[in-house]
Amino acid sequence: MSTGLVIYGDSISGNCLKVKWVADHLGLSYEWRETSVLNGETRTPEFLALNPDGRVPVVVLPGGRVLAESNAIILFLGGNSELAPKDPFQRAKMMQWLFWEQYSHEPYIAVRRFHLRYLGKTEDELDPKLIERGNKALALMENQLGQSRFIAGDLPTLADVALVAYTRLAHEGGFDLTPYRAVIRWIKLTEGALGIDAVIDAVRE
Amino acid sequence: MSTGLVIYGDSISGNCLKVKWVADHLGLSYEWRETSVLNGETRTPEFLALNPDGRVPVVVLPGGRVLAESNAIILFLGGNSELAPKDPFQRAKMMQWLFWEQYSHEPYIAVRRFHLRYLGKTEDELDPKLIERGNKALALMENQLGQSRFIAGDLPTLADVALVAYTRLAHEGGFDLTPYRAVIRWIKLTEGALGIDAVIDAVRE
């Protein structure tokens, strides 16, 4: 039995990596329990007892309380850190982008990557709205990142953590980042700020 | 020129009504600017200058700063009120449900209602995953509301505001709430707590 923080996550999932990056950035100690979505490990009775929604990431806190939803978890872990503005309006802008990420970005960019790379589908089999709305999301980020260094202002926040998770892997979902110059600049800046390996430089250049 | 809080919203949108309910509950004074999605009023150059994402609700604060995303707005307005727990873990559970609402509930229950009621589509024309995933969301709420009076604990929070917005109108999206007894009880409790008219009692009974 662990008495520390436990993170249930799938390493191929950007939503799960958000939690790992924030925990690592804050120097938290934790146990990572690899939980494969593709192998059905989020659908077992044991896992569903932990999270009835059948999704990762999930964290179990010391004492046993359980929290789900990637962005709620990173806010819980990092909401008082330098990755979260103290100013109420700046904090609200961070929240705006965190909700936008889950509603207008992840359902297209992450989902398209999952279908192509992990479910073995071809582009022809996919709903065309995935590429359209994913590109709309990238264009909106390009517009914002032409005005500020990071997505919610000039300093990195949890909203950058959330958005970089799948934006940096957008090429795996068949998105061409080339036209989004400000987005590419921001990916590098954010990877640097978080200490994430820039594994896809060759792809992006 | 207004110098107070301005809310751009469409009265048929649950996402917009969330903002109105919280502002009313807190006794804030504001100007409501009715902005029709169906009439293209969120796609005009003037509106896109306000919110490049082309969505309502949007609020303009005294001084001119702009905030989008319904759940970010209600957190900004009500995050220090009695609708937001002070305890960090209770607050995190509220956040969990706020993110879950936008990712796992609204895209099915609100979207199906919009297609059927406002775009004039028939049930046969709709993606079957809308009813499947909407019912999955309602079942998850039923499970939670069998364990706690409100969605994130025994007191109403902003997560109840967010979730009641479209759950109370689920029948307009072709969902039958009858099997979800705890959800029906909670809708009434939440409407009462927020002072929202229980307009659909006859439908639900």
In contact, A151 and A170? CB cutoff 8 Å: no
String of DSSP letters for A125-173: GS-HHHHHHHHHHHHHHHHHHTT-SBTTBSS--HHHHHHHHHHTTGGGG
Which residues have a Cβ under 8 Å from the Cβ of A78 and sit 6 or more positions away?
A22, A25, A26, A84, A158, A161
- A60-69 tens-digit pLDDT: 999 999 999 9
CA-based max dimension of chain B? 49
Residue A202's pLDDT is 39
Residue-wise pLDDT tens digits, A50-62: 999 999 999 999 9
Pick from A51, A87, A99 the residue to mutate for testing the B interface (most B CBs within 10 Å): A99
pTM, full prediction: 0.96
pLDDT digits (tens, 9 = 90+) for B150-197: 999 999 999 999 999 999 999 999 999 999 999 999 999 999 999 987
> Which of B99, B112, B79 has the alpha carbon at shortest distance from B163?
B99
Long-range contacts of B52-58, Cβ-Cβ distance < 8 Å, separation of 24 or more? B52/A140, B52/A143, B52/A144, B53/A100, B53/A104, B53/A140, B56/B8, B56/B9, B56/B10, B56/B13, B56/B15, B56/B16, B57/B7, B57/B8, B57/B9, B57/B13, B57/B15, B57/B16, B57/B18, B57/B19, B58/B7, B58/B8
Both tokens of A115, joined, read 């279908």
Residue type (1 letter), A8: Y
Which residue of B61, B88, B103 is in closest CB contact with A76?
B88
- Those residues of chain A whose CB sits closer than 8 Å to some CB in chain B are 52-53, 61, 65, 67-73, 75-76, 88-89, 92-93, 95-96, 98-100, 102-104, 106-107, 140, 143-144
Average pLDDT of span A17-33? 97
